[in-house]
Homo-oligomer: A and B are copies of this chain.
Amino acid sequence: MARRKAGLGERHKKILKFLEKFQTENGYPPSIREIGENTNISSTSVVNYYLNQLEEMNFIERESNVSRGIRLVKTLEGNLVNAAQAITEMFSVPVIGRIVAGEPVPVPSSDFNYYDQETGIDIARSLLPPREKTSDLFALEVQGDSMIDAMVNDGDIVVMRPVSQANNGEMVAVWLADRDETTLKYFYLEDGHVRLQPANPQMKPIIIDNPAQVQVQGKVVLVIRRMEGA
């Protein structure tokens, strides 16, 4: 057969693809024999030969004399596999519904089992402050243009934590019963009244004299806007 050009040959690519697939599906790497079985390589020494080359080319790292001691460093697509991309570094938040102006936020009850949800949105842990807990979060999709003053578009995903009391400066979802309206605003309790400050600095705040009329339903921790057709 023709000599290998510098770079990946067919067998390299097959092995690399299999490594990614196996690790994704199983949560641990394959053995030398499993790699061979799935790439039509009948000899463990040939698999070893190719793994050594993938290591030289910085696609993987190997630990000597360790079973399944293969760590992906770079994918076939060229993306670095960051050590930070670990089990605890990404999590799913269930998208449990829509947020619209005319209805209260559908805050899940505390015993709601999110994990049955098929729809969720994946979030890198590093997008939240280290002290923020990742449990109990839920996400809502914005429907309509009613949250413009919060700088939030139709279709945006708002990730929230259920709270019933807010601290000053936090962006919260509040239900204003006398207006039949949910709104997203920065919350300030000052001099016995509530100031709900829009994110858009060109808009004026809502002043609520009776704080009891403000039902805080959740605190916004993240907003994600995906571009349609991007």
Contact = CB atoms under 8 A, between A and B. Distances in A.
Contact of A24 (B24, B61, B80, B86): B86
Interface string A73-110: 00101111111111111111000000000000000000
Interface in A113-168: 115, 120-129, 132-135, 145, 148, 151-153, 167
Q: State the copy count for this chain.
A: 2
A169 B229 contact: yes
Interface residues of A, number: 74
A224 interface: yes
A122 B221 CA distance: 16
Given A27-B71, A78-B135, A82-B92, 9 more contacts: A24-B84, A27-B29, A27-B61, A75-B88, A90-B122, A121-B124, A122-B125, A169-B228, A223-B224
